Amino acid sequence: MLDDAFSNMILNRATIGEALSTLCEICIALANNRELVKPGGADCFPYVEGIQRLAERAHKPHACRNLPKPKLVAGTSTRSRLKVKKTRSNVSFVVVMAFESVSIADGTNNDDNDDNGNFICLLIQL
């Protein structure tokens, strides 16, 4: 779901720092939750150093200082994405973060639903 308010925060020089801080806080909180995410299983941004530099320029360097770097399997690329979606009247930013769950990959649908519910609950708390 696209969020125009979030996209407007990214486009506005006065609020881009707040938007980046929020994204970094979400990334770090999920990455550090060992009940949900495997160590090294957080893939939040395709280019961590670039996000950190952008946060510094937006005067919010502390929020993005300890971003995790994913442990990617050899030969694979990042699963995270930063996308721009343009329409005639609007520009929207899409942030795709990927997290490797601690639950067993061949678990039941109930396990998957529990994991999804736990991720959603944590996001709501943030």
pLDDT of residue 110: 55
pLDDT of residue 86: 84
Quick one: what percent of the chain has pLDDT higher than 70?
Answer: 88
Distance set, CA 92 to CA 43, 46, 97 (Å):
21, 18, 16
Q: Decide if 99 contacts 120 (C-beta within 8 A).
A: no
Q: Is the pLDDT of residue 123 over 80?
A: no
Task: Retrieve residue 115's tokens.
Answer: 């994991």
Q: Decide if 124 contacts 117 (C-beta within 8 A).
A: no
Q: pLDDT digit string (tens) for 60-75?
A: 878 888 899 888 776 6
pLDDT of residue 28: 94
Q: Decide if 29 contacts 97 (C-beta within 8 A).
A: no
Q: Is the pLDDT of residue 126 over 60?
A: yes
Q: What is the pTM of this model?
A: 0.79
Q: pLDDT digit string (tens) for 8-63?
A: 888 888 888 899 999 999 999 999 999 889 899 899 988 888 888 888 888 887 88
Reported as half-sphere exposure (CB side, CA atoms, 13 A), residue 82 has a value of 11
